[in-house]
Structure 1
């Protein structure tokens, strides 16, 4: 099968698998234990924190490993709100955040008395910094803006936003799950107080992620941020995958961009009745299309029948695909939003894969 769903998950790299196996066999001690086996495991985790901190340009004492992107988002927001609980109860975010954050912010409104402002995006899929400026009040304690959207790949300008928020003493979080390991992320340059990342989006194991929490701002006891037994082998494999990919990050970005451009040209050449969502600031590995007449869940099944794995833009059950919040935020109709499909590219993607995908897409629409 041709795999074009890398934004959902990636296969573990050979190096990450080898590290996982090696550490599982030889460093199985609980990193919280005081004996030598525990100390050896703790040393591995400490070194992994140092390596990750270098990669995102952050202090290593702000790094904590988690079970993945969703937990990272939750823990980051919970700790930032604890640190600012006496300052106010207003949060600013966007209408296109990942569901793990969007649903949590809804819960904070309903159950904990927070007021949440959900900013829209413009036709270029950008959050207007002026809208952030206008939304800030004396009660604003946190702004949460994802780095890149998982459905359309639009990238937000974290540095511009971070510079402004830093001047106004407002905490800043970013969900960096879709950008980590693909484009540079500098916590320091962007004045970020927390970020969330996930291993399995970057050829590491599932069930592992990390957060950065600004140790200068967050009033927490480090041991209480993520209680429980650390998956030492998973953490080591996560960092091994990161280190394996890091030297080729820019080269791979450009290779994927060429493949994306090839697919777009195929859509035009074949006169495929679909709109490819393209923006000035966009992750090239995410290709989103709004098909003419054809629902996304039906198209996904037809792609699967043709031996190609893709996804729709949102979780759905067959025949009941919900319209994508992101597509609605772009000003599209609910019917258009239900016609979203997403192809996402990765290490193993080749030109022939996208040529076949374009042909299958053409056939699906013409025979619908």
Structure 2
């Protein structure tokens, strides 16, 4: 088995599994309960909140635990948009995660106007176009830091500066970049950040969203009492503890990931494959977006699966879409090109030998079809 779908999810680490099991056994109390069992669970949640906040470089008071990165995006965007005073215009990107589009669609149904920006041929948002899209009634910008399909990294620090100059709130989806890139470079300048546990060796079904305590956020469901009134439901203490352990333990060697990327892409015949990427400074190296010319990405994925090699055709949240990856379409490429797309994503356990095996398998598929 060769697993190369780390952008979809990472296996839980042994320490995270052990932490989950121990918390499930020893911290059975409700963190909101006032007795000692509740107090011990609450203390563990407080510790986890500090771990996530420290990694993000923000104040722990702004950390809200969620059931996923998807929920974090929904809660963050809706709460920040509805909490803003004045206009009802939002700027985002065509290539955002499905959960972001779901939040924007909800707001459009409530009378908001949304501008969705395309990507350049390098998969980057054009800053001049973004600034030109800002109107007098713009209240929120929501941008993904690292794209989950092609791995391009947006200039969030510069976007945050533009937003601040115009007095516009900004939310950033950092699910793919969390614990891989330095988010503290811009975290102090934004109003919302979404992260997820299972991308960094933690459990599925757990995530967090940072909402700047200095800005007004309106609850999506008014009247709930947990997480500062922004999210209802008893906290999942074992998952939260395991998430924090995963964050503490997660290691991302960017130089090693660049070596793996170089090995994979250097071995691809340019007459058969097209690589979708940005310049190195704007590229998360462990996510490789590739098109096999004339062959649908789903076919490539299924043929590799027969060999015990596991990749994807894009975001798992879009797996049933017939239109191909959003990122490719946002770059102005055709629907045919989008359907040829597949994604290979590495993790810390990926080896050079595995990359060599995949390279051979890809060329075998291309030669067989041709």
C-alpha contact 2:73 2:103 (8 A) present in aligned 1:
no
1:17 maps to which residue? 17
Task: State yes or no: 1:94 paired with 2:93.
Answer: yes
| Pairing 1:249-264 to 2, within 5 Å after superposition | 249=252, 252-264=253-265
C-alpha contact 1:158 1:190 (8 A) present in aligned 2:
no
Instruction: State how far apart, in whole Å, the 2-side matches of 1:64 and 1:197 are.
Output: 10
C-alpha contact 1:160 1:190 (8 A) present in aligned 2:
no
Local SS of the residue matching 1:200: coil
Task: State yes or no: 1:140 paired with 2:138.
Answer: yes
The Cα of 1:125 is off from its aligned counterpart by: 1.1
The one-character-per-residue Cα deviations of 1:83-124 (angstroms, maximum 9, x if unpaired) are: 11x311000000000011113212321x20110000111112
1:362 maps to which residue? 363
The Cα of 1:306 is off from its aligned counterpart by: 0.9
Q: Which ranges in structure 1 are unaligned for 5 or more consecutive residues?
A: none
The one-character-per-residue Cα deviations of 1:174-230 (angstroms, maximum 9, x if unpaired) are: 100000011111275551100101000111000000000000012457531111110
The Cα of 1:126 is off from its aligned counterpart by: 1.0
Instruction: State how far apart, in whole Å, the 2-side matches of 1:93 and 1:344 are.
Output: 25
C-alpha contact 1:272 1:362 (8 A) present in aligned 2:
no
C-alpha contact 2:124 2:278 (8 A) present in aligned 1:
no
Instruction: State how far apart, in whole Å, the 2-side matches of 1:64 and 1:362 are.
Output: 46
Local SS of the residue matching 2:210: strand
Instruction: State how far apart, in whole Å, the 1-side matches of 2:143 and 2:287 are.
Output: 19
Root-mean-square deviation (Å):
1.5
The Cα of 1:294 is off from its aligned counterpart by: 0.9
Instruction: State how far apart, in whole Å, the 2-side matches of 1:259 and 1:145 are.
Output: 27
2:76 maps to which residue? 76
1:192 is aligned, of 172, 190, 194, to 190
Q: Given the two structures, how large is their TM-score scaled by the length of structure 1?
A: 0.94
1:115 is aligned, of 113, 116, 134, to 113
Instruction: State how far apart, in whole Å, the 2-side matches of 1:188 and 1:276 are.
Output: 29
The Cα of 1:278 is off from its aligned counterpart by: 2.3
Q: Which ranges in structure 2 are unaligned for 5 or more consecutive residues?
A: 220-226
Instruction: State how far apart, in whole Å, the 1-side matches of 2:118 and 2:339 are.
Output: 19
1:282 maps to which residue? 283
Local SS of the residue matching 1:22: helix
1:243 maps to which residue? 248
The Cα of 1:313 is off from its aligned counterpart by: 2.0
1:105 maps to which residue? 104
Runs (4 or more) in structure 1 with deviation over 6 Å come to none
The Cα of 1:23 is off from its aligned counterpart by: 0.8
Change (3 A) 1:322 1:219: closer
The Cα of 1:328 is off from its aligned counterpart by: 1.3
Instruction: State how far apart, in whole Å, the 2-side matches of 1:295 and 1:321 are.
Output: 11
Instruction: State how far apart, in whole Å, the 2-side matches of 1:20 and 1:187 are.
Output: 31
The one-character-per-residue Cα deviations of 1:335-354 (angstroms, maximum 9, x if unpaired) are: 01100010000021001111
